[in-house]
Each structure stands twice: as structure tokens, then as C-alpha cells.
């Protein structure tokens, strides 16, 4: 199990609001190395598959509508303790509860429109990374 990688998406609100550069700056300044990145858009089918674990939740339909509403930036990041450190950097799911200075506190507007995704375990980081990238597309040192 790879333990120094995580997967992120800069969500459609971040792209629409012109915040790609600012968010990537913060990620890189926090010691994460980008080893794969693409601007892409989820279809409804792929968004439903990515968030399948939430399909019984009342917010599922709204989440899929939001995540397919425009392009996203998908990326794979490397850093020691990547998953945990990245969750600290992005902050709580609900931006109102996020710590000052976190990406969601700075750039998210609601619990659904919350600017950024971060994997919650090493296992999910690997699954989510493979959802977007082949091994040949990742530039690990």
C-alpha cells in the first residue's frame, strides 16, 4: 500500500471562480508535489460512480449535479503522510466549521460547493487516483 500519495479534485466552483492558481499555490507551498494533473469534466455516470458510497444520502443528487456542472482539476499528490496532511490542509466538509486558513475556509461557499476533494484513506487514494490516471501518467520520483 502506497502511503505517501493522495488524490484531489479542485471542484467546479474552484475552476469557475478563477481559484485554480491560488489553490495549487497553497498545495505546493504546503509541501505536496504534483505527480499527475488534468483538467476534465465528470459525466453523471462517472460522478455517481465516484461518489457511490453516498448514493443513499439526501445530498447525493445535488452533489452529482454540482460535480458535473463544469470542469474540475484532478491531481495526484505526493508527500510524507499525504492523506492525513492533505485533509488538514483542506479543512472540514462544511466550510463554516473549517479552521481559518484551510482551503475550504478560504474558497468554499457551502457544504456541497466546498471547493476541493481529498481522499480519506490510503486505500481510497489509490482507488480514486486510478479513476483518473494510469500508472504511466504519474511522474513519481
Contact 132, 72 (CB under 8 A): no
φ, ψ for residue 9, nearest 5 deg = -125, 130
Place of cell 483518473: 132
Q: Which does 93 bind (CB under 5 to 8 A by kind): ligand IDP, Mg ion, none?
A: ligand IDP
Cα 6 to Cα 122: distance, rounded to the nearest angstrom: 7
Query: Smallest distance, Å, CB 58 to ligand IDP?
Result: 8
Burial 104-136 (b: 16+ CB within 10 A, else e): bbbbbeebbbbbbbbbeebeebbebbeebbeee
Beta bridge partner(s), residue 58? none
Query: Smallest distance, Å, CB 90 to ligand IDP?
Result: 7
Query: Interface with ligand IDP by CB under 6 A: which residues?
Result: 54, 59, 63, 93, 111-112, 114, 117, 120
Which span (34-42, 59-67, 101-109, 114-122) binds Mg ion, by CB under 5 A? 114-122
Tell me, yes or no, if 117 is annotated catalytic.
yes
Query: Smallest distance, Å, CB 99 to ligand IDP?
Result: 13
Q: Which of 117, 119, 128, 129 is catalytic?
A: 117
Which span (35-43, 74-82, 116-124, 131-139) binds Mg ion, by CB under 5 A? 116-124
Residues at the contact surface with Mg ion, assessed by CB under 5 A: 120
The catalytic residues are 117
Amino acid at each position: 500500500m502506497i502511503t505517501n500519495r493522495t488524490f484531489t479534485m479542485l471542484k467546479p466552483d474552484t475552476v469557475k471562480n478563477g481559484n485554480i492558481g491560488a489553490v495549487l499555490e497553497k498545495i505546493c507551498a504546503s509541501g505536496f508535489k504534483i505527480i499527475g494533473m488534468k483538467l476534465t469534466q465528470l459525466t453523471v455516470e462517472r460522478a455517481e460512480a465516484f461518489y457511490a458510497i453516498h448514493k443513499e444520502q439526501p445530498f447525493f443528487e445535488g452533489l452529482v449535479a454540482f460535480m458535473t456542472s463544469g470542469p474540475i482539476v484532478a491531481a495526484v499528490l505526493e508527500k510524507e503522510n499525504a492523506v492525513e496532511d492533505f485533509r488538514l490542509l483542506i479543512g472540514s466538509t462544511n466550510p463554516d466549521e473549517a479552521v481559518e486558513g484551510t482551503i475550504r475556509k478560504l474558497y468554499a461557499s457551502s457544504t456541497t460547493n466546498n471547493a476541493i476533494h481529498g481522499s480519506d484513506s490510503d486505500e481510497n487514494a489509490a482507488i480514486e487516483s486510478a479513476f483518473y490516471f494510469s500508472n504511466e501518467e504519474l511522474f513519481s520520483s
